[in-house]
Structure formats: C-alpha cells, structure tokens
Structure 1
Amino acid sequence: MIHVMRIVMQPARRSEKDVDQHYQDTIVNSVVFDDHADLLDASTVAQLKELFPDGQAQMWGIVPGKKNVNVSRINKMRPGDWVFFSGDKRVYLGGTIALMWRNRELATRLWGTDTAGSTWEYMYALSGTRGFDIPVEEVRTLLGWNPNRNIMGITVLSDEESDTLQTLLTLDAATAALDPVDTIEEEAAVAAFDGELERTAQRAQRGEQAALKKRLLNSSTGQCALCGRTLPGTFLIAAHIKKRAVCSDDEKRDLANIAMLACTFGCDAVYEHGYIQVATGGAIRVSPLALGIPEVEAYIQERLAGRTVTWWTPKRESYYRWHRTHTFKDVPPA
C-alpha cells in the first residue's frame, strides 16, 4: 500500500503544567535509549539506534482515550508523517515521525499517568523538529475549516489537507523508518498513471509573474537581493518573499514589495526551504539546521553569512516576518 505523507495535529498546550513538564522531559531533553533498555524490546532499540546513531531522540506519546477513541486515529499514523504540536491557539513545533511503537511501561516511566490512570503508551520518536509560530486561525483559513473549529484531540488530516499544508509551509520530511516496498509501489503507480502529470498554469498567474520580473529587472542584468551578485536576467527569478499561495489578492498585487530578485545558483533555494531568513533591518540569519548539510552550509557561509539585504524596507517587513515564522527552519522552542 502506498503511503502518502500525512500531517498529524498533536494538541499539547504548554500553558498546562503537566504538558509543559512532559515537553521539557522528552522534547527539550531527548530520551537516551540505553537509559531505558530494560523496558525497550531489542528490535525497537535496534531501529532507534539505526535512525539515531547518537543514541537519543525526542519522544512523545498518545493515550488510548476513553473507550479507545484515539486508537483508530493512531492507526492512520505512519513513520514519515509530519506532526504539528499546537496549543494556546498556535502551532509551535513540527517534525517527522521516525518510528512508532506501543510501550505502556516506558510511557509510565517517562510521563506518569493521567487522572484516569491512563498513560501515553502509543509512542513515537521525532526527527527533524523545528520551531514555528503560526496562529491556529491561519491553519483553519488555509484548510477551509469552520472558524470555530479547534484541535481538541489527536487529528490526522486528509491527504488533500496534508498536501495543502505541506506545500504552503515547505515541509521537508526527515529521517523515518519507512518500508522500502513503498518506493517500488510508488514507482509502479506513476508508471501506470495515465492522467495529466503537469498542471496548466493559469494565464493570470503567468502574467503576474512576468509583470513582477519586468518590474524588478529593468535591464538585461540584475542584482540578487540575497547574495548581491549582478547576473544576467536568465539566472534571476522574481521570488515571492511570502509564499504566493497564501498571499491575499491585495498582497499579490503589491508588485513593489511582495517579491525580490533571487539567483538560481542557490539563493532562491536556501531561502525557499528556510535555511536563511531576513531579519528586521535586513540582516541575513542562518538556520542552525543548515549545519547538518555541509553543501548548504558551505554555500551560505561563502555567499550569504554576514550580509545585509538592502531590499528590506519597513513596507516589506510583514512579508519577511511571515517567512521567518512559517518557512525558516528555527530551533524547537525550549
């Protein structure tokens, strides 16, 4: 069976003392596998150590719920899915489910039990976690939810909803214990698919993009807003500072401020995938997560570190701020 990466909404309100303590114990401070080898079965330890060679990982868990209400939802979750932690009206943490297992004894040791005597025994390890600061109201709007809908329990989004958030927030899947058979089945499905593989761009959007680039590039050459290199226009694109798909109509028409020239030699990619941000005032700041990718780190250090983006202005700050809170790969909140 082909598994599409879904997004799981994990309620975890840190304003509640117990939840924040759990977060401190197993997210801020990773769980060391050898400390709990007496409660982990050998196969789980082996998989964890393969996924996390340093011998530790961030962990979370889910209670079965009254009359096992959560179990059917948990059964929809798979390694490779993305999890958003939400609480106090904001999404504040995200990461990839690397491994899932059930262990009541370990959950009780790590987190104790709730008032009903239940514990968070459906456990998972997280990889590639990063911080966010997204109002839940914005998630509701993006997914077309009822304005009063709240994330009350563990929620697995539909494929369509997951795809929407994955695309709009540039979510990159991290390490996970995926079944290698999935790759074979996915390739077979693509080969057998006889529908359209490309979506036809709307004429209005093409016209908008052309108008943007023409406004930004008034000669045959232009300057990349990020690295500052002057390059032929062929190697520069009109890059939206805030992702176009979530811009309002007025923002899309704000041609003077919504986009910047970015070169295709690397600047557009590292910005689009959140490895750099433009801080208030224009200073470029580098994601700590870039350190784990030598080629990305080398490019940033050579071309971008220490630079100030002259394209930044107070009128563009709201767009750069959106990128900082939604796309920039920030460290998880402590």
Structure 2
Amino acid sequence: MRFADHAALLDPAVLQTLRGLFPREEAQMWGVTPGQNNANVPKIAKMRPGDVVFFSGNKRLYLAGTVALAWHNPALAEHLWSRDEDTGLTWEYMYALSGVRGLDVPMDEVRRLLGWKPTRNIMGFNQVKQEEGELLLELIDFDPGDAATSPTTHQLVSEGGDRTEQQHGSSDKASSGITVRRAEQDRIKAYLLPGSEGDCALCGRTLPKEFLVAAHIKKRAACTEEERWDVQNVAMLACLLGCDSLFEHGFIAVDHNGDVQVSEAAENSPTVSKHIDEHLADRHVTWWNPKREKYYAWHRANTFKTGAPSPERIA
C-alpha cells in the first residue's frame, strides 16, 4: 500500500510513524477482524513491533514477516477490503510487516517438527508456544533482526497456534541440543573429510580441513531421524570463507540441475555480490546428484531468500 494514496484515512501519528519505518512510503499491510464476540481482540492487543508472524494456507506455511507497526482503523480496512459477506466484519486491526519472506513449508513438516498430531490444523488468528516459535524460526532460518524494526521478545503466528514470549539465553534443553549437534557434526565431517584437506562443494576450492564444515543441506531441525543418518546425501562440505554462511542464510542455493542460484537479496551488499561473482557465479556444483536433490529442493523452498507472494488478508 502506498501511504500517499490513503493518507486521508490514516491517523497523522500513524502515518508519521509508517513514513519513519518505511522511507519509500509504501508497505505491505494485513488486517484481522475482531472475530465473533471480539474473540481476536485480546490476542491483537498483545501484538508488538518485532513480533514474528507466520501465514498458512493450502496446507503449508507460505509467508513470514516481522511486525513493524499495528493499529486500529475500521475506515481504512473497509475502504481496502470491504466487509465479510457472512459476518459483516472488516479487517480493522491492521498491521504492516517488514522483512517479509515467501515460504513453501508443508504443514505435515510443521506438525512433525512441533510434535503435533497429524490431524491438527492451523485456523484463525492465534499464538504458538515459546519452544514451537523458536523451532519455526530455526526451521526457516528467519532472523527478525533482518526487518526494519528491532526485534522484541515476542513471537506471533497468524492463522494458527498460540503466541507467547521467547526467553533469550541458554537452557538445559538448549545446551543438550547443541551437544548433540556438535557430536553429529563431528561424525558427518569425519565421513566427508577423511584427510587433512578437502573441496568446498559450492565454490570448489581445495582447503585445509580447518576451513571446512559439514553443512546440512536440509536444516537438521527439519530432518527426520532417517534423513539425519543419510550422511552421504544430507550434508556437504562448505568453506568458512563465505560459502557456508551464504548457503545457510539463503543468499545462494543449488537449483534442480546442480547450478548455483543467487538470491536478489545478495545485491543489497556490494561486498557479498563481489564475493559471489568471484567465486560462485555460473558454477555447477558437482556434489549435486539426483539422490541429494530432495535436500537441495528443501533448502530452495525453506531457506533461499525469494520475494514474497501476494498475501491474502486473514479473516
């Protein structure tokens, strides 16, 4: 939405804040109805800048973003979206998101990750538990700090779940998880790198083992137990000279033919773009093969930074 096109319907204070958050004077807007008997209002009242919002539909998570600003504006909502024919309600509790990212995560994968029953569905405007929210953020490698606002300790899921606060810092459970992952990393690296040096699967450079890591192609948190043990295919060697971070954070991917795919997000940093041009542009990844394609496909769908699809309003 372009702010200038709807300035007459925006409260001056809200308009000023939006212009400060979005210098281009446009942002993607969403809205939530009050719900029957105002069921959504208490949840909406807890929404704060920095909260992370997930969207679901067609049996998958398709969008995520960080709340930049939330406000109440029935007139603007009705102007933009009219009213629901069945309930007569409009999407008057509005919010703008920054750092919006498109996703393609099947709900079956979400249920397995969060330990939900196979029959559990995400409906309406709800919250997720702290541990569930953290796992979802890890699953899609989403950093609220990438957004225009400073992240808070809150997390929100739209069209499902229960919102709760995240607690920063370590815990016994987190420490145990790190220990398991480190042991698993050592085992996989020993398989991939039996000698004193090896080749980065992405850039192809031969490097001492100290500069190489065993990188999961499909994020470990999303792997089944069987996939975690598929060491021949689920992981690859990636160098610490840039490739591991670029792949992990979705600036590069490997397409269905084994060629390096570069995200448009890389263009925001001249240094990153230069590194990709020098070492990764037009490269074919020889580590890719049909058995590993399902893992690379998961990375493209879940981690690779793509543009956001056109969002649908939430009832």
Same-fold status (TM-score > 0.5):
yes
**Residue 257 in structure 1 maps to residue 233 in structure 2:** yes
CA 1:264 to 1:89, structure 2 compared with 1: closer, same or farther past 3 Å?
A: same
Asked whether the equivalents of residues 105 and 301 of structure 2 are also in contact (C-alpha less than 8 Å), the reply is yes
1:4 aligns with none
In the alignment, structure 1 segments of 5+ residues that lack a partner are 1-30, 183-188
How many residues are treated as equivalent by the alignment?
296
Give me the CA root mean square deviation.
2.5
Q: Aligned AA for 2:207?
A: L
Scaled by the length of structure 2, what TM-score is found? Answer: 0.87
Asked whether the equivalents of residues 223 and 231 of structure 1 are also in contact (C-alpha less than 8 Å), the reply is yes
Name the CA distance, whole Å, in 1 between partners of 2:284 and 2:105: 26
Displacement of 1:139 after TM fit? 1.2
**Residue 108 in structure 1 maps to residue 78 in structure 2:** yes
1:118 aligns with 89
1:16 aligns with none
Q: Aligned AA for 1:257?
A: N
Name the CA distance, whole Å, in 1 between partners of 2:56 and 2:173: 35
1:303 aligns with 279
Match of 1:175 among 147, 150, 169: 147
CA 1:208 to 1:291, structure 2 compared with 1: closer, same or farther past 3 Å?
A: same
Match of 1:248 among 218, 224, 234: 224
1:164 aligns with 135
Scaled by the length of structure 1, what TM-score is found? Answer: 0.82
CA 1:179 to 1:140, structure 2 compared with 1: closer, same or farther past 3 Å?
A: closer
1:62 aligns with 32
1:139-183 Cα offsets, whole Å, 9 max, x none, are 12211222212111011212221111111221111334459999x
In the alignment, structure 2 segments of 5+ residues that lack a partner are 155-166, 311-315
Q: Aligned AA for 1:162?
A: G
Name the CA distance, whole Å, in 2 between partners of 1:266 and 1:312: 19
Match of 1:129 among 97, 100, 109: 100
Name the CA distance, whole Å, in 1 between partners of 2:20 and 2:215: 39
Name the CA distance, whole Å, in 1 between partners of 2:99 and 2:46: 21
The alignment partner of 1:199 has SS state of helix
Name the CA distance, whole Å, in 2 between partners of 1:181 and 1:278: 34
CA 1:179 to 1:96, structure 2 compared with 1: closer, same or farther past 3 Å?
A: closer
Match of 1:141 among 109, 112, 120: 112
CA 1:166 to 1:277, structure 2 compared with 1: closer, same or farther past 3 Å?
A: same
1:186 aligns with none
The alignment partner of 2:122 has SS state of coil
Percent sequence identity over matched residues? Answer: 52
Q: Aligned AA for 1:332?
A: A
1:50 aligns with 20
1:155 aligns with 126
